[in-house]
Amino acid sequence: MAKRTVAQVLAEATGHLSADAITGAVQERQPDVSPSTIYRILEEFEELGIIVHAHLGQGAAVFHLAGAVHGHLTCEICKRTFEIPSTYFDDLSRDLLESYGFELDRHHVALSGTCARCRALESAPSG
Query: Mind listing the domains of the chain with CATH numbers?
Result: 1-66 (1.10.10.10), 68-127 (3.30.1490.190)
The fraction of the chain above a pLDDT of 90, given in percent, is 50
Q: Is the pLDDT of residue 44 over 90?
A: yes
Average pLDDT for 86-99: 92
pLDDT band at 97 (very low <50, low <70, confident <90, very high): very high
What is the chain's mean pLDDT, rounded?
A: 88
- Higher-confidence position of 109 and 2: 2
Q: Which of 79-83, 104-108, 121-125 has the lowest mean pLDDT?
A: 104-108
Alpha-carbon distance values, 47 to 10, 67, 88, 127 (Å):
16, 15, 26, 53
Q: Is the pLDDT of residue 126 over 60?
A: yes
C-alpha to C-alpha distance for 127 and 93, rounded to whole angstroms: 45
pLDDT for 10-24, tens place per residue? Answer: 999 887 888 999 999
Alpha-carbon distance values, 63 to 3, 32, 42, 81, 92 (Å):
15, 22, 8, 13, 24
pLDDT given at position 40: 96
pLDDT given at position 58: 67
Strand partners, 54: 62
Average pLDDT for 97-104: 95
77-81 — which CB contacts under 8 Å span 24+ positions? 77/114, 77/115, 77/118, 77/122, 78/115, 78/117, 78/118, 80/115, 81/15, 81/16, 81/56, 81/110
